[in-house]
Amino acid sequence: MFTIGCAFSQMSFNGSKLTKSAFDLTASSDEQTVKENPTKDMKIFITDKEEESMKHRRHGHHGGGDFQLLLYSRLGATIPLGNMSDWGGTGFFALGTIEGIISNQFSVGLSYGYYVYPGKTTTTQVPIYDPLSGALLGTQAETVTNPDMAVVPISATFKYFLGTEEFKPYVGADVGVAFITSSEGGSETKFGFTPRAGFMYIIADNYMVGVDASCNLVQDGSSINFGIQLGYLFGN
């Protein structure tokens, strides 16, 4: 309303001045818009771009042909089954893996681990005989402790991811060999197969945390394993 009043007043005295004044007022308003809005729009554009980049890093997204490298360790408890449970008790394990994520759904890698099972202690009643007559005199408790056992697997690992966002459930398997040794000496090498399932969560700056459950299937023995994972994802 104020702008219309000014234009009307100047029309009575100088039409050319009105045209110039109205043009100047409009230009001044437009200039202010040009100065303010592009800056505002540019800030929004930059912020959106940065957020998109951060989202890609958090989510582990990558375009076609890109390659990501995941380096992580897994620590946890291992429970022997079958013949292994007769020999040793619940132990612990540490595993290191280098893994290439070749798409949003698949990864392949190499894994090296160390599993330790403490030897079980058993108590049995041993018969005692008379050395002269051979007659049974009774029994005596005898305690026997098995030597500790270690399993060192070296294997290729494969995963199929069920999600493509930062939360990545997966199923997979390891295939390789396991070197088995005891604290009293002796060793043997056996074939091993380990199906597994779990999830990874990619957090800010490409750090990874996760949980994994697996079952080591080795000739003449097996174990169930539960562990946590910590790692770092290289690549955008």
As a dihedral over the C-alpha atoms of residue 28, residue 32, residue 33, residue 37, rounded to 10 degrees, the angle is 170
- Percent of the chain surpassing pLDDT 90: 39
Length of the chain measured in residues: 236
Query: Residue for token digits 């098995």?
Result: 146
Helix (H, G, I), strand (E, B) or coil at 21: helix
Question: For the segment 91-111, what is each residue's pLDDT rounded down to a tens digit?
Answer: 999 999 999 988 888 999 999
Amino acid at 194: T
What is the pTM for the complete model shown?
A: 0.65
Give the C-alpha separation, 92 to 231, whole Å: 19
Which amino acid belongs to residue 12? S
Share of the chain above pLDDT 70, in %: 71
- For the stretch 211-220, pLDDT in tens is 999 999 987 7
Does residue 132 surpass a pLDDT of 60? yes
| Pairwise pLDDT comparison (194 vs 8), residue with the higher score | 194
Predicted confidence (pLDDT) at residue 169 exceeds the cutoff of 80: yes
What is the pLDDT, as a whole number, of residue 129?
81
pLDDT band per the 50, 70, 90 thresholds, residue 50: low
How far apart CA 31 and CA 22 sit, in angstroms, is 14
Is the pLDDT assigned to residue 112 strictly greater than 80?
Answer: yes
- Which CATH topology does 64-234 take? Porin (2.40.160)
pLDDT at position 52 is 52
**Ranges 39-43, 69-73, 82-86, 107-111: which has the least confidence:** 39-43
Q: Which tens digit of pLDDT belongs to each residue from 140-162?
A: 778 888 889 999 999 999 999 99
pLDDT for residue 134:
78
Exposed/middle/buried for residue 148 (C-beta within 10 Å: 0-12, 13-18, 19+): middle
Those residues whose C-beta lies under 8 Å from the C-beta of residue 178, and which sit 6 or more positions away, are 151, 152, 153, 154, 189, 190, 191, 192, 216, 218
Rounded to whole angstroms, the Cα distance separating 140 from 52 reads: 74
pLDDT at 94: 97
